[in-house]
Each structure stands twice: as structure tokens, then as C-alpha cells.
Amino acid sequence: MTELPRRAGASFKPQHFAAIIASQRAVGFFEVHAENYMGAGGPPHAMLGKLRQDYPLSIHGVGLSIGGEEALDEAHLQRLRVLCERYAPESFSEHLAWSSHGGEFLADLLPLPYTDDTLQTVCDHIDRTQAVLGRRILLENPSLYLSFAESRFEEPEFLSEVVRRSGCGLLLDVNNVFVSSVNLGFDPAQYLARLPLAAVGEIHLAGHSVMANGTLIDSHGAPVIDAVWALYQSVIARAGAIATLIEWDRDVPAWPVLVAEAAKAEAILTQHRCQAA
């Protein structure tokens, strides 16, 4: 199976389509949210089909509810299968979260306690997803705003065990690590040191917002801050070049601004390659 190029990519936004076509490969790949492309046709597919001719593609799911206690929505899973067969992306990823209950989609990525029971549920859901899609998926670490007293594992150990049992890979969201570290009061560098970086197939970088009480919100509506860039550099220094996405989903800037943000990640990846040569 192919993999994403170890370059910097960007989230695809339709308002950028004309600029992208004229930009002569300003980024290494694009990522799209799966649920935006579950219709049969129309302008979204016309644009994505054209983009797919020229760029590697990462499809990122937000609605599968991998961490939910209920069985996966088989209809949703089949739609994901059709989408992946249609576009043959280099990567498919989902979140370590739950987002549905009782047949209702909650339009949010909600946290789960890290227990033996939830570990088994997550692994079972990943096994089912990988079997239906016929591919290894990547699981993204969440941004956290609370912790559960019943948790038996810390997050790096939970993710490590999920990888070991299911054979999935990881999508490492460095901004999520930073957001969680501030909100829950842990050292993000120590968190990363305990994570199985060899399993990371893609990295996400994004901006966040700060509430009046100091809580950080993973808002995807601002540039990446210096502290997150520093954590990212430490990951690349340890793990080597990894496909890296700039996520910017709110207050989306003009295409050149997004390209400039991706260029910062590309410079770090290039610097590592030169040092390793």
C-alpha cells in the first residue's frame, strides 16, 4: 500500500480550488474530511477528482465514533468504503473519540475514559473498520479538556496498546498534545517520549484559541504557535520526516497564507533530511 509523501500538506477548502490549480504544486498533499464527500456527485466530487489527479490524498473521518460503546454504524462504514475505493487515498484516519449515541450524531468529538473495557471496544472497532476498508487506518490523539477518574491508562500507553493489538497506525496531532498538556497540566515532551513514534503515519499541526479562564480550545482557526512548532521539531528530530498537515478549518485565510504555513513545516522536514544525509 502506498503512503503519503513525507512532505507538508494542507486541508483542502473549495474556495482555494482555482488558486491551487494555478499554484504548481505548492504543497505535497491534501487532506479532506470524509463526510463532505459522501454524496454521489456534484461540485465537491468534481473538484476533488481533479485534485486527485495531481496530488496524493489523505481522507480524514470525523463521524465513525471509534470510541463509542455502541456498534459502529455499518451504513456509514460502507460509505467510507465506497469513498476510499473511489479515490484510493494514500491515508485514511479517524479520531480516538465518540460522536454518536442511540443512532444520533452529536456533531462533536467527545472523550472517553482509558479503561480495559474501552481499550477492547476501540480495538474491536478498528479491527472492523480495517476489515471493511481493506487497509490500515491511522488513529488520531484527541484534544482533552477533562480527565476521567476511572481511567486506568494514561493516553500514551493507551494508544501504544491500541497500536499493538489492532495493528493500526497513529495520526499524531501535535497541537492536540499541547492543548491537552496545558488543560490537564502535564509535560508534552514527556508525553511524546512515551508515544510509539514509529507508528505515526501523519502529523497534524494547527492553531488554537484561549478562553478567558486559560483553557485552550482546539479551534483550527489560527496560525501554529511557536511552542507547537518546537514540539514538532522535536518529533521530527526523533522520528524522521513524516507527512505533515496544516489544519485550518475556521476563519480560513487566503491560499498564500496557508501555503506559507505549510512552507514552515516543509523547511523543518528539509532541514532534517539535510542533517541526516
What's the rounded mean pLDDT across residues 187-216? 97
The single-letter code of the amino acid at 156 is P
What's the rounded mean pLDDT across residues 164-191? 98
Instruction: Please say whether the beta carbons of 236 and 242 come within 8 A.
Output: yes
Measured distance CA(272)–CA(82) in Å, rounded? 37
Measured distance CA(143)–CA(68) in Å, rounded? 17
Architecture of domain 8-276: Alpha-Beta Barrel (3.20)
* CA distances from residue 50 to 20, 21, 44, 259 in whole angstroms, order as listed: 11, 9, 10, 19
Torsion sign, CA atoms 37, 42, 44, 46:
positive
Measured distance CA(118)–CA(125) in Å, rounded? 10
Domain boundaries, given as residue ranges, for the chain: 8-276
Run of H or E residues at 120: helix 116-133
Q: What is the pLDDT of residues 257-267, one digit of tens each?
A: 999 999 999 99
Does this model's pTM top 0.75? yes
- pLDDT score of 171: 98
Measured distance CA(160)–CA(36) in Å, rounded? 30
- pLDDT score of 232: 98
Is the pLDDT at 104 greater than 70, yes or no?
Answer: no
What's the rounded mean pLDDT across residues 57-72? 94
Is the pLDDT at 1 greater than 70, yes or no?
Answer: no
Is the pLDDT at 107 greater than 70, yes or no?
Answer: no
